[in-house]
Amino acid sequence: NTQIFDTPEEGARYVAAKIAAFINKRNSEGLPTVLGLATGNTPIPLYMELVRLHKEEGLSFKKVISFNLDEYYPISPDDVNSYHYFMFKHLFSHIDIDRANVHIPVGTLAEHMINEYCEGYERMIREAGGIDIQILGIGRAGHIGFNEPGSQLNDITRLVTLNPLTISDAAGDFGGAEFVPRKALTMGVRTIMEARKVFLLGWGEKKTEILAKAIEGQVGIEVPASFLQKHKDTEFILDKGAASKLA
Ligand code: F6R
CB atoms within 10 A of CB 232: 8
Mean per-residue pLDDT for 53-78?
98
Mean per-residue pLDDT for 85-94?
98
Residue 237 β-bridge partners = 3, 201
Which residues approach ligand 1 with their CB closer than 6 A? 38-42, 69-70, 83, 137-139, 143-145
Question: Pairing state of beta strands 33-37 and 64-68?
Answer: parallel
Residue 36 β-bridge partners = 67, 134
Q: Is 19 part of any domain?
A: yes
| Closest ligand 1 atom to 70 CA | 7
pLDDT score of 169: 96
Which residues touch 5 (CB under 8 Å, ≥6 apart)?
Answer: 11, 14, 237, 238, 239, 240
Residue nearest to atom 8 of ligand 1 (CA): 145
pLDDT score of 17: 98
Q: Is 189 part of any domain?
A: yes
Coil, helix or strand for 238? strand
> Residue 87 sits in a domain of what CATH number?
3.40.50.1360
| Domain around 81 | 2-203+212-239
Q: Is 124 part of any domain?
A: yes
Q: What is the DSSP string of 170-219?
A: HHHHHTSGGGS-SEEEE--HHHHHTSSEEEEEE-SGGGHHHHHHHHHS--
Ligand 1 geometric centre to CA of 145 (Å): 7
Using only C-alpha atoms, the chain has a radius of gyration, in whole angstroms, of 17
pLDDT tens digits for range 153-183: 999 999 999 999 999 999 999 999 999 999 9
Return the best residue to mutate from 47, 67, 69, 227 for the ligand 1 pocket (most ligand atoms within 8 A of CB).
69
pLDDT tens digits for range 125-156: 999 999 999 999 999 999 999 999 999 999 99
Number of structural domains (the chain) is 1
Ligand 1 geometric centre to CA of 209 (Å): 16
Q: Is 149 part of any domain?
A: yes
Angstrom CA distances, 125 to 18, 34, 86, 186, 195, stand at 21, 8, 21, 13, 10
Q: Is 247 part of any domain?
A: no
Mean per-residue pLDDT for 187-199?
98
Q: Residues with catalytic annotation?
A: 148
Coil, helix or strand for 100? helix
Q: State the first-to-last Cα distance of the chain, in angstroms, to the nearest integer.
A: 13
The rounded distance, in Å, linking the Cα atoms of 9 and 44 is 9
Ligand 1 geometric centre to CA of 29 (Å): 33
pLDDT score of 238: 98
Q: What is the mean pLDDT of the chain?
A: 98
pLDDT score of 116: 98
ipTM value: 0.99
What count of Cα atoms within 13 Å lies in the side-chain half-sphere of residue 145?
A: 35
Q: Is 246 part of any domain?
A: no
Q: What is the DSSP string of 111-164?
A: GGGHHHHHHHHHHHHHHTT--SEEEE---TTS-BTTB-TT--TT--SEEEEPPH
Nearest to 16 by CA among 56, 43, 55: 43
pLDDT score of 147: 98
The rounded distance, in Å, linking the Cα atoms of 187 and 91 is 20
What count of Cα atoms within 13 Å lies in the side-chain half-sphere of residue 189?
A: 24
pLDDT score of 162: 98
Q: Is 244 part of any domain?
A: no
pLDDT score of 227: 98
| Closest ligand 1 atom to 137 CA | 10
Q: Is 77 part of any domain?
A: yes
